[in-house]
Amino acid sequence: MASAARPHVLRVLLAVAIAAAVPCALSDPAPLQDFCVADLQAATQLDGFPCKAASAVVDGDFFSRAIVAAASTRNPFGVNSTRATVATFPGLNTLGLSITRVDLAQGGLNPPHSHPRASELVMVLKGEVMVGFTTGTNQLFSKVVKENELFVVPRGLQHFQLNTGAGDAVFVAMFDSQSPGVVTPTFSLFATKPAMPIEVLTKTFLVGEDEVGAMKSKFAGF
């Protein structure tokens, strides 16, 4: 009997271990209360925002018009993002989600970037957008996504969105974090303050100082 029961016991233990690991895999910690509307004016911030007093919470804390209007795409990349993260939508605090609207002019590009704290689910609302990401082994996965279609980008991986349609495009990016963060390599290398050491850039790209200077000048206004 003992030997016959052992596989069942092992399966139960494995199921318990998996269940225990799931909360650890979430991007943001699970909330411990019904809601925790962010107090954006609080002096102390510890891995997020403290809760506003429940007596001060109003209906509007759970409502936002942050992504209603299109943002101007008159820039070299032909792209602009309008974010509804906890910083602009306090009701998202501790809920582990946020959303961004991205407008792309014809031919516009949302340059390669990553979100260190969240996976991203893209849904195209208008036009056609090529969405792609690269893995740690430099493999590229990409797809032209059309209206109402979805594409998912795993957490922390470099990805891009390119308008491949005949006109403007709009998509929303949904995140499993109230504050997904964004890291754009071009800005992180060529538009840092203070400036990235020139030796780092010349050795990284195997070019001379003149070429690096030309690249830095292109990102001086960002």
Q: How far is CA 150 from CA 10, 143, 156, 167, in A?
A: 38, 10, 18, 19
Q: Determine the structural domain holding residue 83 and report its residue range.
A: 59-182
Q: Which is nearest to 121 in space by CA: 154, 81, 78? A: 154
* pTM reported for the whole predicted model: 0.83
- Residue 201 counted as domain residue: yes
The reply to whether 175 and 195 lie within a common domain is no
**Which single residue is written with the structure tokens 């506003």?**
52
Nearest to 111 by CA among 75, 151, 173, 160: 160
Same domain, 131 and 198: no
Dihedral angle sign, alpha carbons of residues 169, 170, 176, 179: positive
Are residues 80 and 121 located together in one domain of the fold? yes
Residue 143 Cα distances to 64, 188, 189, 204, angstroms: 31, 26, 28, 29
Same domain? For 114 and 65 the reply is: yes
pLDDT per 10-residue tile (average), the chain, 222 residues: 55 53 60 88 78 94 96 96 94 94 98 96 98 97 98 98 98 95 94 93 95 89 68
- Asked whether 117 and 179 are in contact (CB, 8 A), the reply is yes
Residue 71's CATH number = 2.60.120.10
| CA count, 13 A, side-chain hemisphere, 25 | 8
Residues 153, 73 share a domain = yes
pLDDT in tens, 106-130: 999 999 999 999 999 999 999 999 9
Residues 154 and 197 in one domain: no
* pLDDT at site 12: 55
Q: Are residues 177 and 117 part of one domain?
A: yes
Is 134 in the same domain as 75?
Answer: yes
Q: How far is CA 173 from CA 118, 122, 201, 215, in A?
A: 11, 5, 31, 29
| Both structure tokens of 155 | 């957490």
Same structural domain, 134 and 204: no
Do residues 66 and 175 both lie within one domain?
A: yes
198 domain residue, yes or no: yes
- State the amino acid at position 94 in one-letter form: T
Q: How much is the pLDDT for 23?
A: 47
Task: Indicate if 178 and 85 belong to the same structural domain.
Answer: yes
Residue 146 lies in a domain: yes
Same-domain status, 133 and 202:
no
Residue 54 is assigned to a structural domain of this protein: no
Number of folded domains in the chain? 2
